[in-house]
Amino acid sequence: MGILDIITYLSASASVISATALAFSVYYSHKQTKALQGQVEELKKQNAELLKKPKLKLEIYGATVANREPVYIAENITIGEAKIIKLKIENTGNTQARECVVKAIKFTSSGSVTSLERLIWHMYFKDVCIYGKEKVPFFMTITKNDFELVDLIVLFRYNANNANEKETFLGSQNLKFNIPYNQIESVNAPLVINQDDIIKIIVYCENSDPASLCLRIKKKKHIDDIMSDQDLDDFIERIENSDCNHT
């Protein structure tokens, strides 16, 4: 084989190698493009699902903080009055939040923990006082661009039998009012709110991720101490979730 033949052979071989390399490059580039397109489509699906979910915003509801509400022990019998600090749960998402339930955990400075598995939706406060928590629903559907209220802290005054006993409690579903006034504090002791208590609230809904809020009791207060938003600010403050104690 002459030199020209060798050069011709090598040139042809180089062309074949280049063509083969190009073919492989095109093939793998096509595979990568398809894989990338698949990832993009998956992200689009995830984003679409995310947009369908409700989005919950939690905050203390101060609009009715000065209002006093009667505390019933029977349909037409009251035993005292209360101011109720409510938690506002707002749905700012694109669909309703279904079957929502609210849990609260109280941590004291001494290290004790009290857990309430179900806070009461405010519309049922009278019913739970009269009939007990077994008679009221714990689950609530929150329409998009709407909100519901939950009883978070009850500032109670027992004024039956000329008594004037006052105490502040977490939640309303486990409170027992139909007992002698001098037993109310001891019977409900695990729910009493004191200075430096930490309260963690968690909202669970069937079709959304849990939402949480952490609060600290800045100063012990009773029913007559809360008259305005400023009084509320002096009583309770929001803290970072990372500063909350955890069970």
Give, in order, the Cα–Cα distances in Å from 107 to each of 60, 174, 212: 19, 17, 15
Place of tokens 């069937």: 206
Tokens of 114: 């009290």
Please choose, from the candidates 148, 215, 205, 137, the residue with its C-alpha nearest in 3D space to the C-alpha of residue 173. Answer: 137
Q: Is the predicted pLDDT of residue 51 greater than 90, yes or no?
A: no
pLDDT band at 243 (very low <50, low <70, confident <90, very high): confident
| C-beta separation of 133 from 119 below 8 A | no
pTM as predicted: 0.76
Distance, CA of 13 to CA of 17 (rounded, Å) = 6
Q: Is the predicted pLDDT of residue 53 greater than 80, yes or no?
A: yes
- Ramachandran sector of residue 186 (left: φ over 0; alpha: ψ -120 to 50; beta: rest): alpha
Distance, CA of 73 to CA of 79 (rounded, Å) = 7
| C-beta separation of 199 from 215 below 8 A | yes
Give, in order, the Cα–Cα distances in Å from 72 to each of 2, 126, 132, 192: 114, 6, 11, 20
Q: Is the predicted pLDDT of residue 140 greater than 80, yes or no?
A: yes
Please choose, from the candidates 141, 132, 58, the residue with its C-alpha nearest in 3D space to the C-alpha of residue 97. Answer: 141
| C-beta separation of 169 from 156 below 8 A | yes
pLDDT digits (tens, 9 = 90+) for 55-76: 999 999 987 888 999 988 888 8
Which CATH class name applies to 56-243?
A: mainly beta
Mean pLDDT over 171-175 rounds to: 81
Terminal CA-to-CA distance of the chain, rounded, Å?
Answer: 86
Give the pLDDT confidence score for residue 102 in this predicted structure. 96
| Pair type for strands 208-217 and 236-239 | antiparallel
Q: To the nearest whole percent, how much of the chain has pLDDT over 90?
A: 43
- Burial code (b: 16+ CB inside 10 Å, e: under 16) for 85-107 equals bbbbbbbebeebbeebbbbbbbb
List, in sequence order, every residue forming a beta bridge with 168; answer none if it has no partner. Answer: 155
Tokens of 59: 């905050």
